[in-house]
Every structure is written in C-alpha cells, then in structure tokens.
Amino acid sequence: MIVLTIAVGVVVGLVVGALGAGGGILSVPILVFLLSQDPHAATAESLLIVLVTAVVSLVFRACREKVAYREGVLFGGLSVVGSVLGARATGYVSPATLLLMFSALLVGVSVLMGARAVGQWRNYWTHFEGEIVRGNAQETTQKSTSIRAASKQRAPQWLPLLLLATVCGLMTGFFGVGGGFIVVPLLVLALKMPIKQAASTSLVVMIIASIAGLAGRFDMWSQIDGGVVAMFTLGSAVGGAAGAPLSRRARDYQLTAVFAALLAVVAIFTAMRTLI
C-alpha cells in the first residue's frame, strides 16, 4: 500500500508539473476508488496534496518560465469567497451525487479544451506554412504585432474576471480540487493566455484556492488520513519537480490536447465506477 500510494502520487505530480493542472481531478478518484477513502474526506485530502504539489511545481517553473503573478494572485484572491462557500455546500450532497456532478463538469471542460486544441493546431500549421512564403523579415513584424495584440487581450477586465474567479472558486471548493482544470481553460479561453503561461500561472491560483478550500473544510480535518496524505504528497512533490521540464518540450496544441483527453478519461472512469 505504501509503494502504491507513493507511485500514484508520482503520476499525479507529473501531470501537475507538466500541465499545471490535473492534480485534483486525478487524486480524488484515486483516493476514492484505489485507496478506499471516503469521497468527502478525499476532497479535503486532495486539496492538501495539490497544495504541496503546486508549490513545488511553481518553484521549478518560476526559475525558467514566465508566470503572470499579477493575474494569478488577482484571480486567486477573487476566488477565495467562492471557494469557501463551495467547500461548505459540498457537505449537503451525497457522495455518489458529488462524483457524478464531478464527472459531468469534466466532460464539459474536456469538450471546450478539445475544440481549443484543434484551433491551436490549425493556427500552428497556418503560421508554419506562412513562414516559408513570407520570409524572416515579415515574420518578425507579425510576431511583434501578435505579441502587442496578445498583451492587450490579456489585460484583465474586472467584471468578467470577478465572475469567472467566483465560479472557479465555487467549483474548486465544492469538488475539493486545486482548480487547475478550471483555471487553465479560463486563462486560455477568456484571457487568451498561451497554454504554457496559463499552466504556470494556474499554479499560483491553485495555491490560493487550495488554502481557501481547506479553510472551508475545517470540520473535515479530523477525517483526513495523515499517513495516506503524507505518502501521496511525497510522491506527488517528486513527480511535480520532474514534470515541469516536460512542458517545455511540447507545443501548445499538444499540451491542450493531452489535457482534454485526460479530463475525458477521468470523467468516464469516475462516472462508470460510481454508477456500478
């Protein structure tokens, strides 16, 4: 059991380190179905695991990649109230209902990210073919224009940002996950942030949201299995440190596609096991 817990922790850490998300969506089903934890206790345990893993992953990413700390702290701060409210609301639903709602949410996000991956793939090949025709000089001009336009697109607008952050906090607190699986799509789809930067920035939001979610679950702390959490976190932290360099070797559309596929697989598995 010790070896199994550490091993699955390493896998979860690799996903968080490489994608900047996915720790909670993997750790909750693993804790429930593989390590026999109560679903409500697993939501609290997963937040603690994701918190430590996100901190370790952020340290390694911050040294080599651009992290939008302002947007991350702002988004995370605005999501705190929703995260606490969501954490309190989760106690009013049955474990089976919680897991089925969790699966439905993942399916929706997976579809959105899958569509985004297709768009990124098309843009990549269009840009690649254009480089051959236009030459280096025109390419440089277009990149500069694209960077300026992206900067304007990523400028936060308060009302949409507040609404998105509140929804993210509610989902994070309710389902007991770090929020990366919600934050990464929101940063990509709503703020037009590149997937790699969104993956790094989401770790900042995950840290804040996990702390808020744990605070909202103060009455569940006694149900946390300290031994399982410690071993899982150890493996997850190691995997997080090793996973960060993997993201630098992949293109944006590849990371987005992997993320979408991961969400779909976890959603199907969780729904089938819950119904069975």
User: For residue range 211-255, what is the model confidence (pLDDT) as tens digits?
Assistant: 888 888 887 788 888 888 888 888 877 776 777 666 666 677 777
The answer to whether 217 and 43 have CB atoms below 8 angstroms apart is: yes
The residue length of the chain stands at 276
Which distant-in-sequence residues (6+ apart) come within 8 Å of 171 by Cβ?
Answer: 86, 105, 177, 179, 182
What is the Cα Rg of the chain in Å?
Answer: 19
Question: Which position has the token pair 């939008």?
Answer: 68
Return d(Cα 193, Cα 149) in angstroms, integer. 11
Helix extents (H) in the chain? 2-19, 23-29, 39-62, 69-78, 80-89, 95-134, 136-153, 158-175, 180-189, 195-216, 226-243, 252-275
Structure confidence at residue 162 (pLDDT) = 80
Q: For residue 105, what are its two tokens?
A: 């949410």
Alpha carbon of residue 178 to chain centroid: 7
Structure confidence at residue 149 (pLDDT) = 47
Return d(Cα 179, Cα 22) in angstroms, integer. 8
Which distant-in-sequence residues (6+ apart) come within 8 Å of 200 by Cβ?
Answer: 20, 58, 61, 62, 65, 66, 67, 68
Q: Is 81 exposed, middle or buried (0-12, 13-18, 19+ CB in 10 A)?
A: middle
Q: For residue 6, what are its two tokens?
A: 């550490």
Q: Distances from the Cα of 43 to the Cαs of 23, 53, 98, 218, in angstroms?
A: 12, 15, 10, 12
Spans of the chain below 70 pLDDT: 16-23, 63-65, 128-158, 178-181, 190, 240, 244-250
Q: b or e along 172-191 (b: 16 or more beta carbons within 10 Å of the residue's beta carbon)?
A: bbbbbbbbbbbbbbbbbbbb
Return d(Cα 176, Cα 209) in angstroms, integer. 10
Structure confidence at residue 196 (pLDDT) = 74
Three-point CA angle 45, 49, 67, nearest 5°:
140
The neighbour count for residue 37, using CB atoms within 10 Å, is 23
pLDDT digits (tens, 9 = 90+) for 64-88: 667 888 888 888 888 888 888 888 8
pTM of the model: 0.69
Structure confidence at residue 147 (pLDDT) = 45
